[in-house]
Amino acid sequence: MQKLIRSLLLGFGSSKSSSPPPAAAASIAGTSEKQSKKRKSSGNKFDMDQCFEVGLKSSERVATKLMEALKKEVNNEVKPAKRMRMFTKWNSRIEDMLIKDISKQYPTHLFITKNRHKNREAVSLTDDPTWFIDPLGSKTNFVHGFPYANINLAFWLLKKPRFGIVWNPLQDECYTTRTGFGSFMNVNTLQVSNCRKLSEALVMCEARTKATFDSKEIRKIAHQVNELRSLGSSSMSMCMVAQGYADAYIDFNCGSWDMSATMLLVREAGGVVCDPSLKPLDLMSRRVLCAATQELAEELAAVLAFSEEKDAPKLSEVPQLDETVQKLGLGEKRNTKETGKTQSKYQEREGLDKKPKEFSRPRMVYVLPKLTTEFQSPSMKFSGYPKAAPTDRRKFVRSYPTDPNLPGQGSIF
């Protein structure tokens, strides 16, 4: 499968139309493959084919090892607590393996990773060659076995995406994309849908917490779209848009490592990726809007109706308690005895009738009758109640009623 992916994304020219690979093109021109490679390396200072090959091989090796570990754990019936320890272990291991493999070939390249750059405000994108890594996205999905966890790897140069690789190890799916070459899932070409109306669109969104689920932006579009869906993974949701399974996606709290590969995947599949205000996407911001068509993106942005940074959605609009109060379980709780006293005093002062106390009903206990073969109704003979085996078969058969309209007239013989 990986040979087919490499053949699709290596050496096919800068356009999406099919063209011969480097070896065939060199033979047609009357030159050898080595000479064509020398001319290519001399003309370009940076070999993008080799860079893509390094990223694909490294991500393939990491995903294969993770899938082998998952198969062993599945056979042993892993509990969620052990899966959490497994996630913590592999989350750091995958990141270290990817950085080590890539640094061997490109020691001067920069890395922006999820584990090493959790403080997103301190991260800045430069013109230098930069790799974005999300070692194992969607912790909750991975722990619960929900098959939408991902390994993201993207390469940017001069502040523009060059290629992206997204692995879903739980379903053995590999999404690959490269600027000017199109988008693929394994060896299948991806194409977005042709949805142009918001009322007909299936929109993906992320409702990770109660605050995001109750946010005003989601409430705005809830009654405007056809359906809303949430996968719990920003990268996999954008992959659904690129495949044409969903028509649009919005998120207001995603990282650069979530969008770095999938934004190129959607664009190469024919979609639109921008800021929710229809401005060019800022990779270091926390919000993104991607849609299948430009008309759908404009209608969705009009419903959201904000353009300035001050109007950006606030994820924590609901007032939260202090951490110590939450841990101790303390909150604004009223004493039921005190409230009862104040209510009775108020009723006496206003001359209101006191609410009569509700009487307690006796608990009813249902006792099943003792079942015997002598006094059973026709319907009881075929129920699930335990009954003794008949001593005489003829006597047992004669006890059946002859009227076919009565219930329980089937024969067990």
Residue 136 is assigned to a ligand binding site: yes
Of 88, 139, 95, nearest to 114 by C-alpha is 95
Give Cβ neighbours of residue 193 (< 8 Å, ≥ 6 apart). Answer: 244, 246, 247, 292
Dig out the tokens for 181 from the structure: 């070459």
Q: Torsion angle, CA of 95/101/107/111, rounded to 10 degrees? A: -20
Query: Alpha-carbon torsion 404, 407, 410, 412, what sign?
Result: negative
Name residue 21's beta-bridge partners.
none
A 10 A CB-CB count for 413 gives 5
Contact 101, 64 (CB under 8 A): no
Please tell me the distance from the alpha carbon of residue 356 to that of residue 314, in angstroms, as a whole number: 47
Residue 258 is assigned to a ligand binding site: yes
Residue 127 is assigned to a ligand binding site: no
Buried b / exposed e over 160-175, threshold 16 CB at 10 Å, is ebbbbbbbbbbeebbb
Annotated binding-site residue numbers: 134, 136, 258
Annotated binding-site ranges for Mg(2+): 134, 136, 258
